[in-house]
Structure 1
Amino acid sequence: MRTDAEHCSFVLLADFDIDRGAQLTYQFPQPLGTDEGLLANLMLPDGAERQPEDWTIFFLNQTPLNTIAPVLALDTPGVRTSRIEEDEDGNPELLYVLNLVRTKLDKTVRRGAIVKAMAICTRHSFIEIFKPVLLMALDDYFSDPSQDCLARLFDAVNSMDISHAPRLSRYEKLIMRTSERKDLFIEKYENLMRPRVPEQTQSRGNVHRNSDSIGSHSSFEEGIMMRAREDKGKGKENGTAKGPGSSTTSLQQPGQPSPSEGEFSLDGSAVWVESGVDQSPHLPSSMGNAHPGTGNHNTASSGRGRKSTDASSTSSIRARREDAATPAPNVAPPLLKDTHFFPAVIDYNDHQLPIRLPIYTFPEEVGDYSLIQLIQTFSSPSTSILGPQHPHLHTSGNQTHPVMVLFNALVTEKRIIFLGHHRPAGQVSSYVLSACALGSGCGIALRGFIRRAFPYANLTNREEWESIPGYIAGVTNPIFESSGSWDLLCDIETGRMVVSKDIHTNCPPSAIGVAPVQLVMRSGTLKAEGSVGSEDDFVRPSKELNPVQKAELLGKVETTDNLFMDDILSAISLHYGESHVRARFTEYASRFVRLAARYEEEVLGLDTAIGFPTAAYSEGLGGEPKLGSGLCFSDEAVGARELAANASRIEAWRRTQSYELWKHDFNKLRENSPIQGVDVSHQLWRLRHAKRMPDNEVELIMRTLAETVQAYDPVTELLSLLPPHHQGLLPLSFGLFHQQEAIRDLTVVILNEFRTYPVGVQFLQSLNHFQRYSYVRQAHALESRIHREQNTLMIPATYMARTPSNRSESSLTGS
C-alpha cells in the first residue's frame, strides 16, 4: 500500500453520441496524452445501453498504445503530479481504472436514453473502495454536467487520509490473510485508536486509565493481552519492553490478588490453563486473567460443560456490558471493527463516506474478485472441455479438471479469452481478475499476470491486446470466438471450455530432453517417508519392462490435481469462505514452484535458482549434522510419478516471463528473509508428516529454530507458515511431548519467544487445553531450572544471555 502517492491520478468522463459514437468529454486535471477514442470505447462497453448500470475495469501503462503521456508537467510545489513512475522491473507503473457507466431513459433525446460513464484512475489495486464515491459523483454529473463535478471528485478522493494505515510486511500479510481474528495486529493501529482523555476526567482520577489500549470494551474483548516479555531485573526500574506493540504496564495491578503457580499467568500473555478451580471475575477485563481460589465463581462454560478458560469469560463479558452501558469518556469510538481493514473517510459534498481499505492485499490482486465464483462456474455438471488435448494443459489426461486446465493455461502463458455474451462487462472483468489471482497464487507465489490482463477488451483495442503474448482478456462480443486468435476460450454463460484446434501448432509440446521412463527411474535425493514396504506397493519402471508394460505404467496419470480440486469443491459445499479457498490456491501455486525446482534438479541435472536445493538430513559423520531442504514427498515413487506427470507444464513454464520474475523474486526473498540459511517449509513438513524421524534431526530442527527465531521478523516468518487451517502450532507442539528433555526445553524456548509478541500470544491461545497445560507447566519448570542450573541446560546461549541471572521462581507467577 502506498500512502505517499495521490489516490486519484485522473478522472475521466465519457458520453455516447448517437452521431459520433463514444466520446471522451473530460479529462481532469489534464489530458492523459493517449488515444481518446480508445479510452471512450473502454468506458462505454458494447451493450452498455442494455444495462441500467455497469462497472468495468481496465489498466493503463500496459502497452505502448495505452501508456499515458501527460501534456502538462505539474511539478510545481504544492500541486499534485501525475508523472509516470516505474515499478521495480523498470516498467511504467500500472494505473488501475475503475469505470461506472449508467443508462438513463429519456424520451426527449433521439435515442430515448442518455449513456454516460465516469472513471477514476488510481495507483491502488484495491479499486473497489472507490465505488461509493464514484456512484455519487456520476449522480451529480447527471444533475449538473460540468467539469466541476470531476474536480470535486478528484479533490475528495485525494483528501482521503490513510497516513496512519499500517504497512504490513510480507509475512504479516500472510498471517492476516489466513486468520479470521478481527483484532489481529491491533497494536499497529495504536495511533488511530489511542483514546483522548478530557482534562476534567484526568483531574477526577477516573478509574479508566489512559493506556495503549482503547478500553475494556474495545477490540481486546476477545481477551488478547498486548504484553511483551519484560526484563524482570530491570523492568521495575525503567518499565521498558521490547517488540512491536509491547506494553509497559506492570503485570500485577494495584489492589488485585497475585496470580498463583497453578494459574501461571505467563507475564500476562493470556495463555490459559484449565486448572479445575473456579475463576474470579475481579480482574480488570483489559488483563483478562482469572485467579483461582478467590471465592468467586465463573458461570460461563463451554459447550461440553467445562469452565471457560479463555479470555472471553464471564468477568470479561460482564465488564464489557457494564462499560457499554456507561461509556467512559476516555474510550475511543469503536471505529475499528476489523483490523483486516483500515477505516478511512472520503468527504464528498458534505457526505462522510466510510471506506474500508484492505491492508493485506498484494499487487496481483485487483478489485473484489471471487475465486469461489470462478470455480463454481467451471465445475458445474454442464461444464465440458472441447477441443484437442495438449500436454501443457491436460496434466491428468482426459480426467483433468477444467479449473486445472485454466491454471495450466495461465502459468504456461497461453492466450485466454473469457466470453460473456449478453453479460455485463463488469461480470466478465471479474472473471479475468479472478483468473489472474488463480494463476499467481493470489499474487503471493507468482506475478506478471496483471500486466497481460485486459479485464474488458473490445474490437477497438483488439490489435493492442492480441499483440501481448499470453494475454488474458474479457470480451462480450461473440465474434471473438470465431476469430481463432486464442488458445483457450472460457464461456462464463455455459461453463464450457474450448481448446483451440490449432493449439499444437501454436504451442508445440515441450521437448523434455529426458525419456519419460528415465524421468521416472531417476532416484530421488530424499528418502521415502512412507511406511515399511510402501515403495513395494508401486510398480517401478525398469529396463526389464517391455514396451507394453511401460506404456501401461505411464498411462496411469497422477491424480493429485483432481484430488486437490475435490477437496476445494468439498470445502465450498461446506461453506468455507473465500479466504480459505484463496489460501489453498496460494499453497498450490507455491508447491508447483517447489515442484519445478525439484524437477530442474532431478530431471535436468541443474543447480536450481528457483528454490532451495534438495537435500536430506545428514548426521554429519565426522562433522556437523545438516538439515534437509527442498520439496518433500511422502513416498519416493509417488514423487517420481508426480514429476513425470508435471514435466510438460513445468517445461512450458520455464520459458515464460513468469518464471524469470519468480527467479528474481526468490533470490530477493532468500536474501532478505529474516530466517537465513534454513528451508523452514521443509522442516515443518518433516515435523508434520515424517513417519521415521531420527531424534537427532528433531533436536536439530528445534535448536535451529530456537536460535534463529529470536526477534519479531523471524517470528512472523515462522508463524506465516503455520496457518490455522493447518492446525497452527501443532507441528511445534509435538516437541512438548518428546521423550528427550532437551527437545522439550527447546520447544518451550520457541513458544516463549512467540509469547513476547501479541501475534504470538494469539497463536498460543489456539492450542488445545492439553497442549496449553503442558506448555505452561514446562515453561514454569524451565524458568525455575534456569535459575538453579544456568550453566548446564541444553538451550541456546543467546536465550540464556537474554534471561536475567536474578530471575526468581516467584517472578514467573507475578507474586
Structure 2
Amino acid sequence: METLMAEVNAQRPPAPAPAPAPAPAPAPSPAPPAGLQRQPSFSSFPPSRSPSSSVRNDPRKARSPHPPMLPERDDIDEAASSSRTSAHSHKLGPAMARLRSQYPADAVERHVEYILVASFDIDRGSVMENQYPAAISGDETTLAELMLPDQVHSRAQDWTIFFLHKDTTTEEEEKEARRERRRKRRRRKQGQHADQADGDDEHHAYDNTDGSDDTDGSDEEHDADGPPLVYVLNLVNTKQDNTVKRGAVVKAMAICTRHSFLHIYKPLLLLALEEYFRHPVIETLASLYNALNAMDLSLMPKLSSLESFVLHAGDAKDMFIEKFEQMIRQRKAADAERTSLSSTDSQPKRIAYSLPRDTHEFESKIYYNGIPVPVKIPSALSPESVGDYSLIKLIQTFSTPHSTQPQPFALHPHLTTSGAYTHPIIVLVNALLTQKRIIFIGHNRPSSEVAEAVLAACTLASGGVLRGFVRHAFPYTDLTKVDDLLKVPGFIAGVTNPTFSFKPEWWDVLCDLPTGRMKISNRIESASPTEGSLYFQQHGIPVSGAGSQMSSDSKGGVDSTGDNQFMETLLQSIANRHGETAIRAKWRSWVLKFTRIAAAFEETVYGASALYIGSHETDAGAYGVSGHGYVWPDDHSRLRELAANDLARQWKKKPVRALDLHHQHDKLRCLKLSHDQSAAIYLALARCVEEAGSPNASASGSEADLPSAAQHLTFANDPERRPSEKLQYEAILQLLCVIPESNTGLFYLSLGLFHPRQDVRMGVVKLLERIMDHPAGRYFWGSLGRFAKLAFFRVKREEGGPPK
C-alpha cells in the first residue's frame, strides 16, 4: 500500500514555477474580419488604412517603441522552463509544428481603428469634435449622441459601450487571397501539385504572410452573420467650469477596436481624456492611437475552440504553458536568424522573454506618455463575450426580489416554462432564445450599469455555445434611436430613460435594474400552438411546462424542465462563493443541455434535426456502440421534458464524428448498464482515442465485428482524416470538453478500472495514460481521487507493466 501511495503522489502535476510577467515587444494587430453581410446599425465607415498620409507615414516604425527586453538575462526562466519541458516532453500534440500567434506582429490589422472625441455644445447639442486617424463616414451626430448619454451632466464620469458594423471590402479581398494560398498549400501536401513555378511562388508568399503553423486554416471560425463587429468603448467626463455656459464642460472620448476585450483600454482612456482636457488638440489623439497600436501580443498563441474551452473550464495556472514556451522559442530562433544576417559587428542586445504567471491571461504593457500601463488580455475568448461584466451580479439583481417576495408573471408559452412563478433569470434566457425584444432600464443609474447588464445577458444565453446575441445587442441607446431599434428583431437594449417603461409596444420583456423586477409586456405577440405541442397532446402527454395553467396556481408548481432546481443549485453556488468561473461553467452546461434537448425534440417531432450534425454517423456503430444526443433515465422522462422544451437553436461539428462522446458519457453517468453495455462504451472511447493517433492501433479487438456501413467511419478507415498526433491531441481535447473539472472530471471513466472484464480495465488504463500524457489532460488526472489512482496502478501491475 505504501508503494502504491508513493506512485500516486508521484503522479501529481508539478506546481507551476513562478515566472515574471511578460514585457512588451513589437506590436501586433487583430486578425482581419470576414465579409460584411448585414447593414450597419448606426454607421458604416471605411478602413482606417484609408488615406491619411500624415497619420501613417511609416506604420512599422511606430509599432514597437518599447520592445520586451530584460538586458540582464537572455533566456526564459531556465529552472522553471526546463523542468516543465523535460517533465512533459512526451505530451501529445503538435509540439514540433510551428504555432501561430493570435495577433501576429506583422499583421495588417491594428488593435485600435479610430479615436473619437465628442463634446456637448449649449447651442448645437452633441457634436463630434475630433476624429483620428481619419473621419468616419456616416451620421456623426448619431455617434456623438451615443457618446454623450442621457443625464450625463449629473455625473462626473460615465462609461458607455456600443457596436458598429464596418465596410470591410478591401480587407476581405486580402483575406481571401491568404485563404487561397492556404488552400493551394494544402493541396500540394495532399499530392495534388499545381504548376511547380507557381507553387513555389505561392509557397513563398504564404510563408511570408502566415508562416508554417500547426493548423491549416480549418480551425478558423467564420461568422455567418457577417464580419467581426467594431466595439466602441466610450468615456465621458463632466468638468465644472463657471466660465462657460451651464457651468460645466462635457467631453467624451471613444476607442473603436476589433477586440471584444475592450475593457483593457479603460485606464488608457482615463489618462488620455484628462490629457485632452488640458490639450484639446489632434496630437493628443495621435499619441494615444500610436501607444495602443504599439501593444505587443505577438507571443500569445492562437488556441483552437476546444483548447479555449478546456482553458476556460480549468483553474490550473499553467494549462497549455507548453504553447507559450514554444512561442518564445520560435521568437528567439527568429531573433537569432536576424542577428546572423545582420552586417553590423556590434554585439546585439540580448532580449529575455518570460512565461505568463497565469496562462488564462497574457500580460503586456502599453506605454503612454512615458507611463507603462499593464494590461491583461484573456488568452481564450468565449463567443458572445464582450467587455468586463459579472453574471453573478446579473443573477443576484433579479433573484433577490424574487426569492423574498415572488410575483407571478403573465403566462406565455415561450417565457414562463415553469408556470407563473418561473424564475426571472429563466424568463430572461427563454426570451433571449426565442428572440423576444428585451430592454434593460436603469433610471437614474449610470449608463455603464445597463451596458454591463446587456453584455452579461448575451453571455448568459450563449453559454459559449450559441451565437448571434451580440449582433442584436445595443448596450446603450436612447429615445432618438427608437426607430432604428424597433427595426432589429429580437434586440437586447440598455436604456436609462424611464419613458421606455411606459411603452409596452416597444418591448416584450422589461428588466428594471433598480427594482430587480421583470415584466412581460401585455402587447407581446401571442404564441400559436406549435407542431410540437400538438404532437405531445396527440400522444396524451400534458404540456405542463410551457406556461400552462397547470403549474401557474402555486409557487411550487410542477418543474418539468428542471429549471427551478437548477436555479436553486446555482444560487447555492453563489452563496458559497464559488466564483464567476464556476457560475459561467454551470451556465454553459445548462445551455449545452438545452441545445441537446432541442435537437432531441426536433428528432422526436419531425423525425430529424438540423441541430445535431452527423447523427447518421454516430448511429452507425463505428466503434461498437451507437446513439447520440441527450440521455434520459426512461422514455417517460424523455417525453415529459421534451414537451416542456419547444425551443431550438444551432449546433456544430466536432472533430470526432463517428462517436457522440457526450451521449456515451451520459450513458455511463445516468443509466444502469449491464457489464457488456458498459464494456462496449469504455472500449469504444479507448479505441477512438488510440486510433486517432495510430491507424494500426486497436483497443477493442477486430473491426470484423462492426457493421460494414460503420467501418469506414473509424479513424483507421477515414480518408479525410489521417491518424496523427495532432488528431489524437484534438480527440482527447474533445473528450475533456465533455467531462470538465467543474463537473465530474474523469470519475465515470475511472469506474472502468473496476470492471469485471480484464480487457475493459486495460482499455481504460490505456485511455487514462493518454489523458495523463496530454498537456491539458494531466490536470484532470491530478484532480482524480486517490482511490481511483490506486486502482489504476493495481491494474497496471496486473498487466505486468511498470507504473508511469
Structure 2 length as normaliser, TM-score?
Answer: 0.69
2:426 to 404, 417, 437: 404
Does residue 33 of the first structure (1) align with residue 137 of the second (2)? yes
Corresponding residue number in structure 2 for 1:753: 770
CA contact (8 A) 2:618 2:658 kept: no
Aligned CA distance change for structure 1 residues 514 and 573 (closer, same or farther; 3 Å):
closer
CA contact (8 A) 2:112 2:255 kept: yes
Question: What residue identity is the alignment partner of 1:357?
Answer: I
- Residues in 2 aligned to 1:613 and 1:703: alpha-carbon distance in whole angstroms: 18
Aligned CA distance change for structure 1 residues 392 and 618 (closer, same or farther; 3 Å):
closer
Corresponding residue number in structure 2 for 1:570: 572
Corresponding residue number in structure 2 for 1:493: 514
Deviation at 1:628, TM superposition (A): 2.1
CA contact (8 A) 2:617 2:657 kept: no
CA contact (8 A) 2:631 2:663 kept: yes
1:428 to 450, 458, 468: 450
Aligned CA distance change for structure 1 residues 194 and 352 (closer, same or farther; 3 Å):
farther
RMSD: 3.5
Deviation at 1:9, TM superposition (A): 0.5
CA contact (8 A) 1:97 1:119 kept: yes
CA contact (8 A) 1:517 1:550 kept: no
CA deviations on 1:674-733 (whole Å, 9 max, x unpaired) are 222110001111112222334244234433433335421111111121111223111111
Q: Rg: which structure is higher?
A: 1
1:680 to 661, 683, 689: 661
Deviation at 1:559, TM superposition (A): 5.1
Question: What residue identity is the alignment partner of 1:12?
Answer: L
Aligned CA distance change for structure 1 residues 681 and 521 (closer, same or farther; 3 Å):
farther
Matching of residues 191-270 of structure 1 within 5 Å: 191=326
Does residue 511 of the first structure (1) align with residue 530 of the second (2)? yes
Unaligned runs of 5+ in 2: 1-29, 32-102, 175-220, 333-349, 694-727
- Residues in 1 aligned to 2:490 and 2:656: alpha-carbon distance in whole angstroms: 36
Tell me the secondary structure at the aligned position of residue 644 of structure 2: helix
- Residues in 2 aligned to 1:74 and 1:613: alpha-carbon distance in whole angstroms: 33
Aligned CA distance change for structure 1 residues 507 and 184 (closer, same or farther; 3 Å):
same
Deviation at 1:521, TM superposition (A): 4.7
Deviation at 1:433, TM superposition (A): 0.3
2:314 to 176, 179, 185: 179
Matching of residues 163-562 of structure 1 within 5 Å: 163-191=298-326, 336-381=356-401, 388-441=410-463, 444-484=464-504, 485-503=506-524, 506-512=525-531, 515=534, 517-518=536-537, 521=540, 556=558, 558=560, 560-562=562-564
Does residue 718 of the first structure (1) align with residue 705 of the second (2)? no
Aligned CA distance change for structure 1 residues 72 and 364 (closer, same or farther; 3 Å):
closer
Does residue 22 of the first structure (1) align with residue 146 of the second (2)? no
Matching of residues 583-594 of structure 1 within 5 Å: 583-594=585-596
Aligned CA distance change for structure 1 residues 616 and 514 (closer, same or farther; 3 Å):
farther
Deviation at 1:462, TM superposition (A): 1.7
Range with bigger deviation, 748-757 or 693-702: 693-702
Question: What residue identity is the alignment partner of 2:584?
Answer: R
- Residues in 2 aligned to 1:728 and 1:30: alpha-carbon distance in whole angstroms: 52
Structure 1 length as normaliser, TM-score?
Answer: 0.68
- Residues in 2 aligned to 1:479 and 1:549: alpha-carbon distance in whole angstroms: 36
Aligned CA distance change for structure 1 residues 741 and 74 (closer, same or farther; 3 Å):
closer
- Residues in 2 aligned to 1:697 and 1:619: alpha-carbon distance in whole angstroms: 18
CA deviations on 1:48-79 (whole Å, 9 max, x unpaired) are 11111111100001xxxxx569999999xxxx
Aligned CA distance change for structure 1 residues 131 and 724 (closer, same or farther; 3 Å):
same
CA contact (8 A) 2:441 2:450 kept: yes
Aligned CA distance change for structure 1 residues 515 and 586 (closer, same or farther; 3 Å):
same
CA contact (8 A) 1:34 1:68 kept: no
CA contact (8 A) 1:593 1:611 kept: no
CA deviations on 1:355-414 (whole Å, 9 max, x unpaired) are 110022223100012111110000013665566211110001112111000011000000
Range with bigger deviation, 764-773 or 141-150: 764-773
Question: What residue identity is the alignment partner of 1:560?
Answer: G
CA deviations on 1:590-612 (whole Å, 9 max, x unpaired) are 11111111111212x32112126
CA contact (8 A) 1:196 1:331 kept: no
Question: What residue identity is the alignment partner of 2:149?
Answer: P
Tell me the secondary structure at the aligned position of residue 367 of structure 1: coil
CA deviations on 1:401-446 (whole Å, 9 max, x unpaired) are 11000011000000000000000000110000011111111xx221
- Residues in 2 aligned to 1:724 and 1:11: alpha-carbon distance in whole angstroms: 42
CA contact (8 A) 1:387 1:500 kept: no
Deviation at 1:782, TM superposition (A): 3.5
CA contact (8 A) 2:537 2:543 kept: no
CA contact (8 A) 2:543 2:644 kept: no
Corresponding residue number in structure 2 for 1:727: 744
Does residue 579 of the first structure (1) align with residue 581 of the second (2)? yes
Question: What residue identity is the alignment partner of 1:28?
Answer: Y
Corresponding residue number in structure 1 for 2:607: 606
Question: What residue identity is the alignment partner of 1:750?
Answer: L
Question: What residue identity is the alignment partner of 1:571?
Answer: S
Unaligned runs of 5+ in 1: 62-66, 76-85, 198-329, 523-538, 542-547, 654-658, 785-808
- Residues in 2 aligned to 1:196 and 1:597: alpha-carbon distance in whole angstroms: 46
Aligned CA distance change for structure 1 residues 688 and 168 (closer, same or farther; 3 Å):
same
- Residues in 1 aligned to 2:563 and 2:737: alpha-carbon distance in whole angstroms: 24
Deviation at 1:617, TM superposition (A): 11
Corresponding residue number in structure 1 for 2:212: none
